[in-house]
Structure 1
Amino acid sequence: MRAARFRAYGGAESLVIEQAPDPHPGAGEIRVRVAAASVNPIDWELRTGALQRLVSLDLPAIPGREAVGVVDEIGAGVRGMRVGDRVFGLGGVTGATAELAILSAWAQAPATWNDEQAASAGLVSVTAMRGLNALGSLTGRTLLVEGAAGGVGSAAVEIAVAQGATVIGTAGESNHEFLTSLGAVPTTYGPGLAQRLTALAPHGVDIALDTTASASLDDLVAITGDPTRVVTLADQAGGQRLGTRVLGADNDSTLLSAAAELGRQGRYTPRIEQAYPLEEIADAHAHAERGRTRGKIVVCIRSVGTAQAQSARHGMTLVSRR
């Protein structure tokens, strides 16, 4: 199979497209013929070697944790799945940016999502939903989402709105219209946040979800009045210091199915900033690594022509400099 791989730790330029051995699913796993995969922070943190002390990789390694594709091989013990099903989901910390990938958690991809959207939904939806679930019922409550325009943040906004919350989201001014389109009341982050919220939420902010390491955790605790009303997905040290809840992603098929159901209802649409063909994965990684993206960066594994045709139907641009 063709795959993106890096043979040594380094920058985005270390990524190459080459032949790699076909993987096969173990018990409780499935293999998909990948249509698209997305880029997440862990991908470049592993590629640069920043996580060497925590995660041991066998090089060469294929980046990518999530993908969408058609099932073509099913491992022992898997029930309710057929070859030919279109699914999205999560695998190990590597392996998704290839023609074939192994998933250990998955859900049927809604017909309302194109491949690029489905490829980007897995990690952000389970991360956002774990954080939101930890905050309890959202109905009738005012939620502050810090870093609301990013991949996890935008998912959290739309899912929280679907669950009945009034959502205030922080982002740069250039993303305020985007947040409004998701159903959030936008405001800027940084100094003076508490004062701005007084006008936006005169009855106070009930709970807060921190999706980006922006050194704002102290402010979020002060705004909500109780560290147990704050969940951080990005600041482990700060959360432990302040006594907030600290959560991360998990390969959870139940949460993936819940996100897919919201997608079928038209209440959650994964947001894509840019899609790249596989041959330009180095550019995709460099783009994502710069940060401040609106939604996710996606890598299309199938032919560029097919990806362009589908993306055009959904109003998204596939970047190609060739």
Structure 2
Amino acid sequence: MRAAIVTEFGSADVIKTQDWPDPVPGAGEALIEVAVADVIFVETAIRQGHHSQYFDVKTPYVPGSSLAGTVRAVGPDVPTDWIGKTVLGRASGFGAHAELAVATGLLEVPAELNLETAIAVYGDGLTALMLEDLAPPMQGKEVLVTASAGGMGLLLVQLAHRAGAHVIAAARGQAKLDLSKAQGADVVIDYSKPAWEKLVLEATNNQGADIVFEGAGGQLGATAFTVVKDGGWFSAHGAPSGGFAAYDPDEAARRNITVKGIDDLRADTTTTTITGADVIARAVAGDLKPVVDKVYDLDHVADAHRALEQRTLLGKALIRVVRS
């Protein structure tokens, strides 16, 4: 089969489309003929060799986690009636950016969703609903969403707006601000400008934000922490700026701020009970509407990585796989 291969850790240039052995499904797995796959920012960091404490990846490997396609075979413990169905799933140990992948956690794609919408909402939607579940009720609250024009940021803006919050969206550049506004933000702020946090405070009548969904990381995330009101809630879930938002735990304790991090969003450590089925149900109901900016083919996975790293996307990127 053909696959995008991370040949070594490094820049996007290390991704090459090559022939790769067909995978074989093991116990609890299914073999999927991939039609379309997700691509998210954390995959660019893994490709560079980061986050080894969370992801046990050795080169060469096939990137990509969430996928949609047709079940062609199943391993032990998987009912054979899955064969032939169009499904969503999570590639076992990555591997989605290929013509064939082994996957677990299968969900049949409902007729109400096309494949691109289903896969676009599947991964980011799970994290967004986990954050919604972990956060306090948002109705009537001041909610700040940073990195608001990314795939997950836009879903969080939608969820906060639907919950009845006063939504403040922070992103970089007018196009991203306009998109955030269109998805339900009440106030938009360009955080590439100096002292942007003062604009957040002004938007909250100098009270600060009750809830902050922090998806930018780095210094932007550290600045976002300063605008959480005493007794507020803060999630440090994004790291596109090079690391998760830094904050002083003693200050958080002193100000009675609840902080949630990446461990609260991992399937093996989270306290939430959100499932992929919940995500698809909310998408069918219209609560989650992913925004897809660009769809790349298998030969241009590297370009998708570059677009994520250069922050040029308005919403999501996907990988369309056409079997040769």
> How high is the sequence identity, in percent, across the aligned residues?
26
Equivalent residue for 1:174? 175
How far is 1:194 from its partner? 4.5
**Do residues 247 (structure 1) and 250 (structure 2) align?**
no
Cα distance change on mapping 1:240 and 1:107 into 2, 3 Å: farther
> What is the CA–CA distance in structure 1 between the aligned matches of 2:214 and 2:296, rounded to whole Å?
29
1:2 aligned onto 2:2 = yes
1:284 paired to 2:270 = no
Task: Show structure 2 runs of 5+ residues with no match.
Answer: 253-258
**Residues in 2 aligned to 1:277 and 1:51: alpha-carbon distance in whole angstroms:** 26
Alignment of 1:305-320 (within 5 A): none
Counterpart check, 1:34 vs 2:34: yes
Counterpart in the other structure of 2:129:
129
Identify which of 203, 206, 219 aligns with 1:200.
203
Shift of 1:22: 2.0
Match of 1:224 among 218, 222, 228: 228
Selected match of 1:261 from 278, 281, 298:
281
In the superposition, the TM-score normalised over structure 1's length comes to 0.81
Please report the TM-score for the alignment, with normalisation by the length of structure 2: 0.81
Answer whether contact 1:232 1:239 (CA < 8 A) is retained.
no
Number of residue pairs matched by the alignment: 304
Runs of 5+ in structure 1 lacking a partner? Answer: 305-322
AA in 1 matched with 2:246: G
Give the Å deviation of 1:106. 4.2
Name the CA shift for 1:60/1:164 in 2 (closer, same or farther; >3 Å).
same
| Deviation readout 1:63-106 (Å, 9 max, x if unpaired) | 11111112233344457972233222323452110112222334
1:156-171 alignment to 2 at 5 Å?
A: 156-171=156-171
Pairs within 5 Å for 1:47-58: 47-51=47-51, 55-58=55-58
Counterpart-to-counterpart distance in 2, 1:250 and 1:56: 15
CA contact (8 A) 1:2 1:17 kept: yes
Compared with structure 1, are the counterparts of its residues 58 and 195 closer, same or farther at alpha carbon in structure 2 (3 Å cutoff)? closer
Distance 2:248 2:133 in 1: 19
CA contact (8 A) 1:240 1:246 kept: no
More divergent stretch after superposition (87-96 vs 52-61):
52-61
User: Counterpart of 1:46?
Assistant: 46
**Deviations 1:138-175, CA, capped at 9 Å, x for gaps:** 23333111111112211211233334433221113222
- Rate the CA distance shift 1:284–1:226 in 2: closer, same or farther, 3 A: same
Deviation at 1:40, TM superposition (A): 1.9
Cα separation, 2, equivalents of 1:151 and 1:80: 34
2:314 to 294, 310, 322: 294
